[in-house]
Amino acid sequence: MAMNVKKSQEMQVYEKRKRVQHMFSFIASRYDLLNHLLSFNIDRLWRKKAACRVRGKRILDLATGTGDMAIEIAKRDKNFHIIGLDISGEMLSLAQKKARDARLENQIELVQASMEHLPFRSSFFDSVVVAFGLRNAQDRIRALFEMFRVLRKEGTAVILEFSHPAIPVFKDVYLYYTQCILPLIGKVISGHRNAYLYLPTSIAAFPNREYLKHAMRAVGFGNVYCKLLTLGIVALHTGKKICKV
């Protein structure tokens, strides 16, 4: 009985992952336009701030999507080597074209895989970054463990993710925008009925910043720090891989 329950749970996780993969593949061609439009172009600034926290030369960018985060990091130092990982082949195809157009294809390598099952050896990267992708993981704790595993000792984890504004009036405006306006615009432009209903739902369901800080510490990260951006719409978390001797 226990074996059957485990298999059923694994199947549900697999099916959810495939639905998310299909959804992002469907909206790939409109993804950048919608990101910039729906965030009033502030998403570029958020990524720049996250890129500033990267340390070392060998960097893994999880849920790279169309490669905006990887490209932002690569622009900062020609000696950086970035591996961008995503579950959507369509997204990666666009990322490859953008890297080539920016003449960064020698710095950016792209891999199709799940962030919960990273195809890399332990202690391989100097930094691991995930921008607006951790909430899409079906097993976020496992994804955090995988981030920790592939980082070298004293390596840096950078997590940029939507959060929950604390200022009452602004929070109400933000909730109305994400739950009513954003899905309507997203539906019209992307042509996908559920993609931008999924976004506010996934933001609302994502644990708050204190929980994420606790989860990072629980898997082994030390020096965990959180900085709120744009009145708390986004939280930028960082941590170090602290290995006890």
200 by Cβ neighbours in 10 Å (0-12 / 13-18 / 19+) ranks as buried
Single out the residue of 216, 237, 239, 217 nearest to residue 226, CA to CA.
Answer: 237
List, for residues 219-236, the tens digit of each pLDDT value: 999 999 999 999 989 999
- Residue 178: which pLDDT band, with cuts at 50, 70 and 90? confident
Would the pLDDT of 27 be above 50?
yes
Q: Which domain holds residue 150?
A: 2-241
**pLDDT of amino acid 241:** 97
64 phi, psi to nearest 5 deg: -65, -20
Q: For the chain, how many structural domains are there in total?
A: 1
- 211 Cβ contact partners less than 8 Å away, ≥ 6 residues apart: none
Tokens of 123: 């202690």
Any idea what the CATH number is for the domain that residue 221 is in? 3.40.50.150
Would the pLDDT of 118 be above 60?
yes
Q: pTM of this prediction?
A: 0.85
- Could you tell me the CA-to-CA distances from 141 to 9, 135, 227 in Å, in that order? 16, 11, 21
| Whether 131 contacts 63, CB under 8 Å | yes
